[in-house]
Amino acid sequence: MTVPLEVRDLWYGYPGGKGDVLKGVNLAVERGEVLAVVGLSGSGKSTLCYCLSGIVPHIYQGNLRGQTLIKGTPTTSMKIPEIATRLGIVFQEPDNQLFSPTVEDEVAFGPENLCLSREEIGERLELALKQVGMEGFRFGSPNQLSGGQKQLIALASVLSLDPEILIFDEAMSQIDEQGKAGIKSVIVGLKERDKTIVMIEHDFDNLDVADRVLLLRDGVLQPFEGRL
């Protein structure tokens, strides 16, 4: 069976940057697997997320060698909408992700663009908001939410797409204890539904939901042995 998410000998440097941020990364993440990636800040974790999700090279060009494959197809030969139907990413900074005038519009944006029926869009919207505990904010503006609440809405907007692969780039960093427990149970639920998940984490308390933890150090991916 084709691996949902695979990286083969990936090297990447930003345009105008000093050398490569990622140096020969190899990775395969299976169906139903939760992979956590840890590392010092600046070690290339968010860059890896950009490569996994096709943001590199579709948005950021730079110097890319090697391949990222989604279900066996290189992201370089896929269009962004094609990638977005299979893979959802929650960015580190929710302000970079939210753009709609209301929470409802934000969470419904993805399903609407999948051309789903009105009923299904409504169901997905309700479910996603319920999963992150933000039902009460449906008609409010994302701009008037706190940092943690914005993170929850960014997460809901990805959950409503119901992609096969989910990338969480420190998606719990501004969320309170109760919210974190809720998101971890959402991740467990996604795993049970055979979703493929990559989570970037600084908080070791959140690693208990991961099947496997890898360390990214200076652009090189390696087994995590408890120390950064």
Partner 1 sequence: MIEPYIELDDVSFAYERCAPVIGGLSLKLYKEQFTAITGPNGSGKTTLGKIMTGILRPQKGCVIICGRDSAGMKLGEIGQRIGYLFQNPGLQIFAPSVQEEISFALGLKGCSKEEIDSRVSRSLRDFDLTNLSDAFPFKLSRGEKQRLAIAAVLVNKPDFLILDEPTTGLDMERRRALSDILLGLKEKGIGMAVISHDRVFIDRLADRTIKMHGGEIVEDRT
CA atoms of 152 and 156, how far apart (whole Å):
6
Residue that is written with structure tokens 């998410």 in the block: 5
What is the smallest separation between the CB atom of 81 and partner 1, expressed in angstroms?
27
Is 184 within 8 Å of 197 (Cβ atoms)?
A: no
Based on the shown chain and the rule CB under 8 A, indicate whether residue 208 belongs to the binding site for partner 1: no
Number of residues forming the site for partner 1 (CB under 8 A): 30
* Residues from 146 through 185 that contact partner 1 (CB under 8 A): 146-149, 152, 170, 173-179
CA atoms of 118 and 135, how far apart (whole Å):
18
Based on the shown chain and the rule CB under 8 A, indicate whether residue 204 belongs to the binding site for partner 1: yes
Based on the shown chain and the rule CB under 8 A, indicate whether residue 95 belongs to the binding site for partner 1: yes
Based on the shown chain and the rule CB under 8 A, indicate whether residue 226 belongs to the binding site for partner 1: no
Greatest Cα pair distance, the chain, in angstroms, is 50
Based on the shown chain and the rule CB under 8 A, indicate whether residue 186 belongs to the binding site for partner 1: no
Based on the shown chain and the rule CB under 8 A, indicate whether residue 60 belongs to the binding site for partner 1: no
The alpha carbon of 146 is separated from its chain's Cα centroid by a whole number of angstroms, namely: 21
The tokens of 204 are what?
């070791």
Cis peptide before 74 (omega within 30 of 0): no
Q: Which of 92, 97, 196, 206 binds partner 1 (CB under 8 A)?
A: 92
Based on the shown chain and the rule CB under 8 A, indicate whether residue 144 belongs to the binding site for partner 1: yes
Residue that is written with structure tokens 């998606």 in the block: 171
Q: Per-residue x/- mask for partner 1, residues 62 to 91, rule CB under 8 A?
A: ------------------------------
CA atoms of 226 and 74, how far apart (whole Å):
33
Based on the shown chain and the rule CB under 8 A, indicate whether residue 189 belongs to the binding site for partner 1: no
Residue that is written with structure tokens 């029926």 in the block: 117
For binding to partner 1 (CB under 8 A), which residues are involved? 14, 17, 38-42, 45-46, 92-93, 95, 144-149, 152, 170, 173-179, 202, 204, 228
